Amino acid sequence: MSFIEQLNQSWSQSGSLLCVGLDPDVSRLPSALRGDKSQGIFEFTKAIVDATHDLVCAFKPQIAYFSAESAEKQLVEVIAYIKSNYPDVPVILDAKRGDIGSTAEKYAVEAFERYQADAVTVNPYLGFDSVAPFTAYKDKGVILLCRTSNPGAASFQDLEIDGVPLYKKVALAASNEWNDNGNCSLVVGATWPEQMAEVRALVGDMPFLVPGVGTQGGDVEAMVKAGQTAAGSGLMISSSRAVLYASEGDDFAEAARAEALQLRNQINAHRSGL
Amino acid sequence: MSFIEQLNQSWSQSGSLLCVGLDPDVSRLPSALRGDKSQGIFEFTKAIVDATHDLVCAFKPQIAYFSAESAEKQLVEVIAYIKSNYPDVPVILDAKRGDIGSTAEKYAVEAFERYQADAVTVNPYLGFDSVAPFTAYKDKGVILLCRTSNPGAASFQDLEIDGVPLYKKVALAASNEWNDNGNCSLVVGATWPEQMAEVRALVGDMPFLVPGVGTQGGDVEAMVKAGQTAAGSGLMISSSRAVLYASEGDDFAEAARAEALQLRNQINAHRSGL
């Protein structure tokens, strides 16, 4: 099954557009899990997965939180754990890789073969030949940074080329000439509902990975209305810190579940066609 | 000593603008080193370092070649080996990371604390707050992708905003508002000497990391003339595959040295002020 098929099935089965981002920050783990950092990262992330798996359409581990702590082995184990226990939940590796073709091939091996991710985020700045080694994996998803959720998104992504902002140029490339295998998606930040609506109008039903709700302050109603497809779907709305650190005490998993449930319901309240 | 001071000293002491890129591709290692992949990667890279250290101004390990083989430990060891044995040769981690601020902080930890790199390559697409966590390490170098060496560079980097191509917008940001700590540099591909001359005219003596000679076909004379500073310096001219795989037999290290020597001399033949 391809990533897009898997995602459609997951949206349908879970009734959720929520994607929980797995960003295990060792400085914020409950004290009981801080003894062995690498093991703590695994145990924390596993507990979050167990507590939220039925509330999400996808999980999104952020590789930087693992790499900063030399915890690649734990990232492999987290993804394997999800696949063993919750095989219907697709896993997006948030890595934002991008390099020339021969090197991008190695990054594709890292994401899809080593970590067994179903999809990976990719930075488009290096152009077509930096993306092709990822899209060549036909059953995997390639989620290109389009309009990111951070304030710095405006530095370059908003610059206009003959009246068309760069992020729309990326959206057009991802939905046309780069999408021969039909496996491209886009990152469009929740913090910019106007831009999201414009991108949705350009690319049809292409899935969006939407970071920026929660800690980054994106407005859920505005974002769902701007980004959803006609069928009330098409979004993987990612929350990381607001869910993971809803409590930093021993009740972190229950608190994460409560936050995820609240956010799933808040999202669903604004979906059309439900 | 800061990266820029270290680099200036290295240019001066080595008499070389050559940077050898360390991209250990397991499928191209000599057969004697293919038994244990991770150990083979370390032994191969160490032999290249030993054979070329006096011919280079810097080494540039490419992290994807290590990550695809679960060889992070070997990357740590390679960099530690260079620092122990050739402490005057700066190490650039080619990682092309880029993410929102809180995640970029983790990537900066990965590059500068875990791997102990002296500089790291960074993708500018996410804008100012994705770069600041790297430049905050005042003594480290932050080498921003400007005009990359690959064919796909034209996809977005050449798009013009009111007559100014995107890569020049990046060059201006890196040399002005992002450069409070004076530790920014730029990636400018050897394959585009005209663009390189234009960027040099914009940014004064800022160092350029220049990939694309050798396998990618960049013209050494045109590139040196386009990119060097008035003092005949300012360039880290990176060759990876042409040096590493000059021979794929047991004589790979000698062949790499011969290729590096030839390339160093070819570069020096076109430097002004030598």
CA separation for the pair A42, A245 (Å, rounded): 15
Q: Is the pLDDT of residue A115 over 90?
A: yes
Classify A105 as helix, strand or coil: helix
- The C-alpha angle A258, A37, B74, rounded to 5 degrees, equals 130
CA separation for the pair A119, B48 (Å, rounded): 35
Secondary structure E strands in A134-247: 141-147, 160-161, 164-165, 184-188, 208-210, 235-239
**Residue-level pLDDT at A217:** 73
Confidence of residue B60 (pLDDT cuts 50, 70, 90): very high
Q: Is the pLDDT of residue A214 over 80?
A: no
What percent of chain B clears pLDDT 70, i.e. is strictly above it?
100
Confidence of residue B216 (pLDDT cuts 50, 70, 90): confident
CA separation for the pair B209, B157 (Å, rounded): 17
Question: B80 CB near a chain A CB, below 8 Å?
Answer: no
Give start and end residues of each alpha helix (H) in chain B: 3-14, 37-52, 63-67, 72-85, 101-108, 128-135, 153-156, 166-175, 193-203, 220-227, 241-244, 252-268
Note whether B125 contacts A129, CB cutoff 8 Å. Answer: no
| Sign, Cα dihedral of A70, A73, A77, A79 | positive
Question: B151 CB near a chain A CB, below 8 Å?
Answer: yes
Q: Is the pLDDT of residue A273 over 80?
A: no
**Residue-level pLDDT at B273:** 74
Strands A164-165 and A184-188: unpaired
Q: Which residues of B touch A158 (CB under 8 A)?
A: none
**Residue-level pLDDT at A216:** 73
**Residue-level pLDDT at A169:** 98
Mean pLDDT over all residues of chain A? 96
Could you tell me the two tokens for B55? 């011919």
**Residue-level pLDDT at A38:** 93
Mean pLDDT over all residues of chain B? 96
Q: Which of A37, A83, A96, A225 is catalytic?
A: A96
A46 is annotated as an active-site residue: no
Question: B67 CB near a chain A CB, below 8 Å?
Answer: yes
Could you tell me the two tokens for A207? 């899935």
Q: Is the pLDDT of residue A202 over 80?
A: yes
Q: Is the pLDDT of residue A215 over 90?
A: no
Note whether A127 contacts B155, CB cutoff 8 Å. Answer: yes
Which residues of chain A from 189 to 248 reach within 8 Å of chain B, CB to CB? 211, 216, 241
Q: Is the pLDDT of residue B170 over 90?
A: yes
B106, B70 contact by CB (below 8 A): no
State pLDDT tens for residues A228-262: 999 999 999 999 999 999 999 999 999 999 999 99
A205, A229 contact by CB (below 8 A): yes
The pLDDT of B194-222, averaged and rounded, is 91
Pick from B122, B241, B120: which is nearest to B170 by CA?
B122
Write down the pTM of the prediction. 0.97
Q: Which of B46, B60, B83, B96 is catalytic?
A: B96
Specify the CATH superfamily of domain B3-268: Aldolase class I (3.20.20.70)
**Residue-level pLDDT at A218:** 75
Classify B96 as helix, strand or coil: strand
**Residue-level pLDDT at B137:** 98
Question: A173 CB near a chain B CB, below 8 Å?
Answer: yes
**Helix crossing, B128-135 with B101-108: angle to 10°?**
30
Nearest to A126 among B109, B153, B160 (CB): B153
B93, B64 contact by CB (below 8 A): no
Could you tell me the two tokens for A95? 């890595």
Pick from B67, B134, B73, B56: which is nearest to B98 by CA?
B134
Note whether A127 contacts B100, CB cutoff 8 Å. Answer: no
Question: A68 CB near a chain B CB, below 8 Å?
Answer: yes
Q: Which residues of A touch B99 (CB under 8 A)?
A: 62, 64, 96
The pLDDT of B245-270, averaged and rounded, is 96
What DSSP state is assigned to residue A229? -
State pLDDT tens for residues A131-177: 999 999 999 999 999 999 999 999 999 999 999 999 999 999 999 99
ipTM of this model? 0.97
**Residue-level pLDDT at B172:** 98
List C-alpha distances in Å: A72 to A28, A69, A131, B15, B61.
Answer: 19, 8, 24, 39, 19
B58 Cβ contact list (under 8 Å, min separation 6): B7, B10, B19, B89, B90, B91, B92, B236
Q: Which residues of B touch A123 (CB under 8 A)?
A: 96, 98, 123, 125-126
Mark residue A30 as left, alpha or beta (left: phi above 0; alpha: psi -120 to 50; beta: remaining): beta
CA separation for the pair B115, B78 (Å, rounded): 9
State pLDDT tens for residues B75-124: 999 999 999 999 999 999 999 999 999 999 999 999 999 999 999 999 99
Could you tell me the two tokens for B62? 């490419």
Confidence of residue A64 (pLDDT cuts 50, 70, 90): very high
Closest-approach residue (CA) in chain B for A150: B100
Could you tell me the two tokens for B214? 């050798």
CA separation for the pair A93, A95 (Å, rounded): 6
Confidence of residue B214 (pLDDT cuts 50, 70, 90): confident
Instruction: Kindly report the three-state secondary structure assignment for every residue of A109-139.
Output: HHHHHHCCCCEEEECHHHCHHHHHHHHCCCC
Q: Which residues of A touch B124 (CB under 8 A)?
A: 125, 155-156
Measure in Å the smallest separation between the Cα of B161 and chain A Cα atoms: 5
CA separation for the pair A59, B170 (Å, rounded): 33
Count A/B contacts: CB-CB distance under 8 Å: 172
B26 Cβ contact list (under 8 Å, min separation 6): B34, B37, B40, B41, B69
Q: Higher-confidence residue: A267 or A212?
A: A267
Could you tell me the two tokens for A43? 């145990």
**Residue-level pLDDT at B218:** 75
